[in-house]
Chains A and B, each alone.
Chain A
Amino acid sequence: AQRVTQPEKLLSVFKGAPVELKCNYSYSGSPELFWYVQYSRQRLQLLLRHISRESIKGFTADLNKGETSFHLKKPFAQEEDSAMYYCALKNTGFQKLVFGTGTRLLVSP
């Protein structure tokens, strides 16, 4: 079965520190992975997807098939990065997404 694991419920860092939000997955096929973000009082929205290979708001994520990971990284955290982050995996068949349990990132001044 497809599964997404986000081991940290809360990640607290100071402004300017590097950030890495962990995501591991289990999947038998060729995965398609996403990071979604929910800022306070805003809707859940797509942050980035691995096939785009782009940097959004300074965040990057590299798919590591050997380690079955898709960690989200940013070299210098900003206070406005504080939010709930969800890693998601495309399921087999139709475009169902399986979400992880989420990691709350708190960036302090």
Chain B
Amino acid sequence: DGGITQSPKYLFRKEGQNVTLSCEQNLNHDAMYWYRQDPGQGLRLIYYSQIVNDFQKGDIAEGYSVSREKKESFPLTVTSAQKNPTAFYLCASSIGRRSSGANVLTFGAGSRLTVL
């Protein structure tokens, strides 16, 4: 069953704690993304990665970190420096840039993080 798997689905965190959200894909996609979805604000890009061992900051990267050690995996760490971390986080992937489908994103089911 091909697709993107995000875990956990729900996560609660105390203030001051770092948490890591998992994103795994078996689509053989080169590019992966993390978006944050807030009511009334749409989707905002946190980080993205075009290839393994490379990633770039998106529009709201402060307080977040990522790694891309494997093609299939793109975990996101929400650090204690993120001032307003309670949100719904979406991971996505797409085929490499030379494909006609390069701009078509496949999304995971999302992870909802709540800071207590």
A94 touches B43 (CB 8 A): no
Q: Counting CB contacts under 8 A, is A13 at the interface?
A: no
A101 touches B31 (CB 8 A): no
Q: Counting CB contacts under 8 A, is B25 at the interface?
A: no
Contacts of A100 in B (CB 8 A): 42
Contact of A96 among B41, B58, B108 (CB under 8 A): B58
Contacts of A99 in B (CB 8 A): 35, 42-44
Contact of B105 among A94, A97, A102 (CB under 8 A): A97
Interface string of B38-61 (1 = CB under 8 A from A): 001111110010100000101000
CA distance A65 to B32 in the complex (A): 30
| Listed stretches A39-47, A53-61, A72-80; interface member | A39-47
B58 touches A95 (CB 8 A): no
Residue pairs across A and B with Cβ atoms less than 8 A apart, 12 shown, are A36-B105, A43-B108, A43-B110, A44-B90, A49-B104, A86-B43, A90-B103, A94-B56, A95-B94, A95-B103, A97-B45, A100-B42
- Chain B interface (Cβ < 8 Å from any Cβ of A): 31, 33, 35, 40-45, 48, 50, 56, 58, 90, 94, 97, 102-110
